[in-house]
Amino acid sequence: MDSTRRPILFVSSPESGLLNPLLTLAGELSRRGVEDLWFATDEPRRPDIEAIAERTPVEFASLGEVVPEMSAVTWDDETYRAVTQSSRFKAHRAVLRHTVDPALRVAKYRALETAVDKIEPALMIVESMSLFAVELAITRNIPFILSVPFMPSNVLTSHTPFSRSHTPPGFPVPHSGLPYRMTLAQRITNRIFRLRTLAMFLNPSLSKVMAQDGPIRKELGISDAARGQMARIDAAESILSYSVTGLDYPFPVPEKMRLVGAMVPPLPQSPGDHRVSDWLDRQGSVVYMGFGTITRLTREQVESLVEVARRLDGRHQILWKLPADQQEFLPPAEERPGNLRIETWVPSQFDVLAHPSVKVFFTHAGGNGYHEGLYFGKPLVVRPLWVDCYDQAVRGEDFGVSLTLDRPETIDPDDVVDKLTRVIEEDSFRARAEFFARQQRAAGGREAAADLVLVSPSLK
Q: What is the pLDDT of residues 378-413, one digit of tens each?
A: 999 999 999 899 999 999 999 999 999 998 888 999
The DSSP code sequence of 149-193 is -S-HHHHHS-SSTTS--SSPTTPPPTTS---SS--HHHHHHHHHH
Closest by CA position to 288, among listed 227, 198, 348, 211: 348
Higher pLDDT, 204 or 183: 183
Separation between Cα atoms, residue 237 and residue 408, nearest integer Å: 39
Tallying the residues shown for the chain, one arrives at: 460
Separation between Cα atoms, residue 136 and residue 87, nearest integer Å: 35
Residues 372 and 411 both lie in one domain? yes
CB-CB contact of 343 with 322 (8 Å): yes
Residues 287 and 241 both lie in one domain? no
pLDDT at 204: 83
Residue 267 lies in a domain: no
Backbone dihedral angles phi then psi of residue 170, each to the nearest 5 degrees: 85, -5
Cis status of the peptide bond prior to 161, with omega within 30 of 0: no
- The three-class DSSP label of residue 293 is coil
pLDDT at 211: 86
The CATH number for 142's domain is 3.40.50.2000
Residues 198 and 87 both lie in one domain? yes
Q: What is the pLDDT of residues 147-175, one digit of tens each?
A: 999 999 999 999 999 889 999 999 999 99
| H/E stretch holding 441 | helix 427-443
pLDDT at 306: 98
Separation between Cα atoms, residue 130 and residue 136, nearest integer Å: 10
Residue 1 reports pLDDT greater than 60: no
pLDDT at 205: 78
Closest by CA position to 158, among listed 174, 146, 144, 143: 174
Residue 268 lies in a domain: no
State the average pLDDT over residues 222-251. Answer: 95
Residues 241 and 321 both lie in one domain? no
Residues 95 and 37 both lie in one domain? yes
Domain that holds residue 20: 8-261+444-459
> How would you class 263 by CB atoms within 10 Å of its CB: exposed for 0-12, middle for 13-18, buried for 19 or more?
buried
CB-CB contact of 102 with 210 (8 Å): yes
CB-CB contact of 393 with 373 (8 Å): no
Residue 256 reports pLDDT greater than 90: yes
Residues 82 and 199 both lie in one domain? yes
Residues 290 and 256 both lie in one domain? no
Residue 398 lies in a domain: yes
Q: Which residues contact 400 (CB under 8 A, 6 or more apart)?
A: 428, 429, 432
Residues 287 and 179 both lie in one domain? no
DSSP for residue 113 = H
Backbone dihedral angles phi then psi of residue 239, each to the nearest 5 degrees: -130, 130
Residue 449 lies in a domain: yes
pLDDT at 101: 87
- The three-class DSSP label of residue 252 is coil
Residue 266 lies in a domain: no
Residue 3 reports pLDDT greater than 60: no
Q: Using CA of residue 237, residue 243, residue 244, residue 246, what is the dihedral sign?
A: negative
Residues 141 and 283 both lie in one domain? no
Residue 133 lies in a domain: yes
Residue 3 lies in a domain: no
Instruction: Reduce the secondary structure of 360-409 to three states and give it as a string.
Output: EEEECCCHHHHHHHHHCCCCEEECCCCHHHHHHHHHHHHCCCEEECCCCC
Residue 257 lies in a domain: yes
Beta bridge partners of 342: 320
- The three-class DSSP label of residue 107 is helix
- Return the biggest CA–CA distance within the chain: 66
Separation between Cα atoms, residue 58 and residue 40, nearest integer Å: 10
> How would you class 233 by CB atoms within 10 Å of its CB: exposed for 0-12, middle for 13-18, buried for 19 or more?
buried
Query: How would residue 359 be classed by pLDDT, with cut points 50, 70 and 90?
Result: very high
Q: Work out the mean pLDDT of the chain and round it to a whole number.
A: 95
How many Cα atoms are found within 13 Å in the side-chain-facing hemisphere of 78?
2
Closest by CA position to 352, among listed 379, 330, 319: 319
Residues 450 and 430 both lie in one domain? no
Residue 260 reports pLDDT greater than 50: yes
Instruction: Give exposure, 168-200, as e/b (b: 16+ Cβ within 10 Å).
Output: eeebbbbbbbbbeeeeeeeeebbeebbeebeeb
| H/E stretch holding 58 | strand 58-62
pLDDT at 218: 94
Residues 406 and 327 both lie in one domain? yes
Residues 156 and 22 both lie in one domain? yes
| Tally of structural domains, the chain | 2
